[in-house]
Structure 1
């Protein structure tokens, strides 16, 4: 999957559990877990903003794009 969710890294850096984050953000632990594992189809900006506020970070600290290495190079 080319979009990586790095919530675990931020939680570790902030010494916070997923349960604590869910409570502070105001979403269910189940929904936050789905997001954390990369199984979510999308995320609302309102939710992303709340997570960034609680973790004191930027959206880019939580979400990373990586090109799929399996794709053929253009021009090869």
Structure 2
């Protein structure tokens, strides 16, 4: 499964979800879905905007983990 480490990057950048929402132009609801791992897909344009604002690479936000629950 793919894990989104948005909370880790926010902590590293000392930024709140509200600040990120304003900078990126994505609603708090959609960012919360990403942060909580409930997203089923991420648009490249969203990923680009997140990387631009957080000054990171896509690999800093996304990670692959074996799904041991299956």
TM-score for both structures, normalised by structure 1: 0.86
Q: 1:74 aligns to what?
A: none
RMSD (Å), alpha carbons: 1.1
Q: How does 1:1-76 map to 2 (within 5 A)?
A: 2-70=1-69
Quick check: which has more Rg, 1 or 2? 1
Choose between structure 1 and 2 for higher RCO, CA contacts under 8 A separated by at least 6 residues: 2
Q: Distance in 2 between matches of 1:29 and 1:49?
A: 17
The Cα of 1:70 is off from its aligned counterpart by 4.8
Give the aligned length: 70
